Amino acid sequence: MRHQKKILAGMLIVSLAGTAGCGLLSKTSSPIDPPPSGANQAMDKKTETMAATLYYKDDKGFVVPLRVHIPKAEAPATQALNFMTPENSKELLKDTGLHPVIPAGTKMSVDIKDNTATVNFSKEITEMRVDTAERQLVDAVVWTLTEFPTIKQVQFKVNGNIIPYMPVSKIPIGQPLTRANGINLQVAPNINPAETTRLTLYFQGSNKDGSFSYLVPVTRLIGKTQEDKIKATIEQLVAGPFTSGLKATLSPATKLVNVTKSGDTVNLDFENLMGEGSATEQIKLIHSIVLSVLDNTTEQKVKIAVNGKPPVTTPGLDLSKPVVRPQIINQKQL
């Protein structure tokens, strides 16, 4: 108990020092990062910047979300994409090991209507000539724009025209894309592609020297299962990533004892959840559970217990209450 209290106290210190905003809260919900200063694209009027979550690629080829502050603009969705180009992202990505996904010289605009963002790109996105680069661009653009609450799906255009697919990867882009299309797609071995269950899981990655670590969303296709999707999510988190370059946040000893739902809350009871590790790793463990569960269910909150009891906490980090989705997933320390 004393060891767990030290870990959670460390989690609080790092969370307060390393983040500048958090998920939306209710009076019956507990944050896992500090209170928000506003919505996901909240404006800082003093410096005339806006906070946004943009998606880049890492050295292993994974598409990664990063919380940044960029200059305020009248067209925030277009501005977000502008800062995913080499011309504008250099300072944002310094020391992160992340790289822009939109080719240099690309011009673009975003028109939003009825929750659909239509993005008109110049020809550069069709001239990358690399399968993985096309996939990274499509994933990053769709997931960046759907961070905005007014956008649910994304329609690609090139020079004002809808094209049926990307030229090399043949990814279909003729119809609007949503997060249901996935990100960093992984397919479990020996499964029938027509009989699958799709899960979004969050594993841990880092830059080459280990100075910046982050959570990476992965869409995994597993064999179709009648098992509760939340149970399947935790099982896959414990199983860990299929490829090198990522590591599991949960230890192999972690066991999900019970799952229940009450209202908009998922209640999870674990054994062996809080193992050894730094405060930062413990924060990522909690984040990975909450993000993975909420991405695979319609519920809005997660309540975590260990052996039937709320984990011991210190003031300001109350895991006895349901936790909402954190708005800040990854943020470079200033």
Q: pLDDT, tens digit, for every residue of 117-152? A: 999 999 999 999 999 999 999 999 999 999 999 999
Residue 24 burial (CB count, 10 A): 15
Residue 195 is predicted with a pLDDT of 86
Element (H, E) at 9: helix 2-18
The edge-to-edge listing of strands for the beta sheet with 186-187 is 186-187, 213-223, 196-206
Contacts with 168 (C-beta within 8 Å, 6 or more apart), sequence order: 128, 129, 130, 131, 134
What secondary structure letter does DSSP report for 158? E
223 or 31: which leads in pLDDT: 223
Whether 57 maps to a domain, the answer reads yes
306 lies in some domain: yes
Stretch 181-210: mean pLDDT: 91
Per-residue pLDDT, averaged over 220-239, amounts to 91
Per-residue pLDDT at 235 exceeds 50: yes
The pLDDT, as a whole number, for residue 277 is: 62
Residue 276 has pLDDT above 80, yes or no: no
Kindly state whether residue 331 falls inside one of the protein's structural domains.
no
What domain range is 270 assigned to? 2-324
pTM summary value? 0.84
Angle at 185 between CA 179 and CA 189, to 5 degrees: 140
Residue 114 has pLDDT above 90, yes or no: yes
Give how many domains the chain has, as a whole number. 1
- 190 inside domain: yes
330 within some domain: no
333 domain residue, yes or no: no
Instruction: Tell me which of 71-85, 224-238, 259-273 is least confident.
Output: 224-238
Q: Which amino acid is at 26?
A: S
Query: Going by DSSP bridges, is the β-strand pair 301-306/323-324 parallel, antiparallel, or unpaired?
Result: antiparallel
Closest CA to 305 of 277, 267, 249: 267
Q: Which residues contact 148 (CB under 8 A, 6 or more apart)?
A: 40, 41, 76, 77, 80, 112, 117
**Is residue 8 over pLDDT 50?**
no
Q: Is residue 332 in a domain?
A: no
Question: How distant is the alpha carbon of residue 80 from its chain centre?
Answer: 16
**pLDDT at position 11, please?**
39
Q: Is the dihedral of CA 30, 334, 55, 41 positive or negative?
A: positive
Mean pLDDT over residues 172-184, rounded?
Answer: 97
Of 16 and 40, the structure prediction assigns the larger pLDDT to: 40
Which one has a higher pLDDT value, 29 or 265? 265
Q: For residue 34, give Cα distances in angstroms to 118, 244, 293, 312.
A: 34, 32, 21, 19
Give CA–CA dist 144/77, Å, rounded: 9
